[in-house]
């Protein structure tokens, strides 16, 4: 019986399989990188808004506290977009005729909401609670980035699962003292020049000395911290943050 394929056919078949494997691998790697890219995550993208609100102006320029607008961040699962009345507390007195603020005035006049475009639009299968993160010592900037430097706000983090897990594996690197440090966008953590003092058993911390910031009384068993990791590990225990093996479990975020 005559030979249908010449002797080089076997080599050609092997080469074809190798090339096919390389193509499939390259395609998988490309799709993996695409899935992490800003094209998909919208990370760093300034989305069009009905009013070009500047966090840089309001936070860095005017010194507004995050909680003035995001009133529910400490006791609700979501930070909350402020009602138009919050804007009009100031803008009924200043910039009253600015064209750029006409959507705000129209919203207030007609009692209709402003339809802001969401920057962090998590899918339905992800459970996220603002309250628990803030009350366990996670600062606004850890997720939202340097909003005090954003003329137009953008998503600072990808919010992909690997990004969340990076913190859940070692929350100590991000945890801050409760109170003002949470909302201080530029806070860099303790150091030799600016230590943090914390009181054993209460979790109360002070940035100015071993004294309670409310009563002025000297702390009992105060500890001094000059680096983030030692302070973070201490606060993980003081704030009763669940261990990494628990907060990395699937049901923590997928319920």
Structure pTM? 0.83
Evaluate whether residue 123 is within a structural domain. Answer: yes
**What is the total count of domains within the chain?**
1
- Dist CA 130 CA 75 (whole Å): 8
Residue 8's pLDDT is what? 67
Evaluate whether residue 78 is within a structural domain. Answer: yes
Evaluate whether residue 15 is within a structural domain. Answer: no
CA distances from 128 to 27, 40, 47 (A): 32, 20, 22
Residue 1 predicted with pLDDT over 60: no
- Over the chain, what is the mean pLDDT? 91
Categorize the per-residue pLDDT at 51 as very low, low, confident or very high, splitting at 50, 70 and 90: very high
pLDDT tens-place string over residues 144-154:
999 999 999 99
- Here the tokens at position 130 are 């603002």
Evaluate whether residue 42 is within a structural domain. Answer: no
Categorize the per-residue pLDDT at 34 as very low, low, confident or very high, splitting at 50, 70 and 90: confident
Evaluate whether residue 223 is within a structural domain. Answer: no
Give the DSSP H or E segment for 225.
strand 222-225
Evaluate whether residue 225 is within a structural domain. Answer: no
Evaluate whether residue 130 is within a structural domain. Answer: yes
Evaluate whether residue 41 is within a structural domain. Answer: no
Q: Give residue 64's domain range.
A: 55-158
Residue 158 predicted with pLDDT over 70: yes
């Amino acid at each position: 019986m005559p030979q249908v394929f010449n002797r080089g056919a076997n080599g050609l078949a092997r080469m074809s399989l190798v090339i096919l494997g390389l193509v499939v691998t390259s395609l998988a790697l490309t799709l993996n990188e695409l899935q992490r890219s800003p094209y998909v995550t919208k990370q760093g993208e300034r989305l069009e808004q009905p009013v070009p609100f500047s966090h840089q102006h309001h936070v860095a320029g005017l010194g507004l506290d995050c909680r003035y607008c995001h009133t529910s961040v400490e006791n609700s699962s979501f930070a909350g977009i402020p009602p138009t009345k919050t804007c009009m507390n100031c803008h009924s007195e200043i910039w009253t005729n600015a064209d750029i603020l006409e959507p705000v005035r129209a919203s207030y006049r007609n009692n209709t909401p402003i339809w802001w475009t969401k920057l962090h639009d998590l899918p339905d299968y992800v459970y996220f609670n603002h309250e628990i993160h803030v009350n366990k010592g996670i600062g606004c900037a850890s997720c939202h980035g340097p909003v005090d430097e954003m003329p137009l706000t953008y998503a600072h983090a990808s919010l992909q699962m690997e990004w969340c897990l990076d913190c859940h594996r070692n929350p100590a690197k991000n945890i801050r003292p409760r109170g003002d440090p949470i909302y201080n966008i530029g806070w860099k953590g303790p150091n030799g020049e600016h230590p943090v003092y914390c009181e054993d058993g209460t979790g109360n911390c002070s940035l100015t000395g071993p004294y309670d910031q409310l009563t002025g009384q000297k702390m009992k068993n105060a500890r001094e911290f000059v680096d983030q990791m030692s302070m973070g590990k201490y606060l993980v225990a003081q704030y009763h943050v669940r261990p990494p093996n628990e907060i990395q479990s699937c049901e923590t975020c997928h319920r």
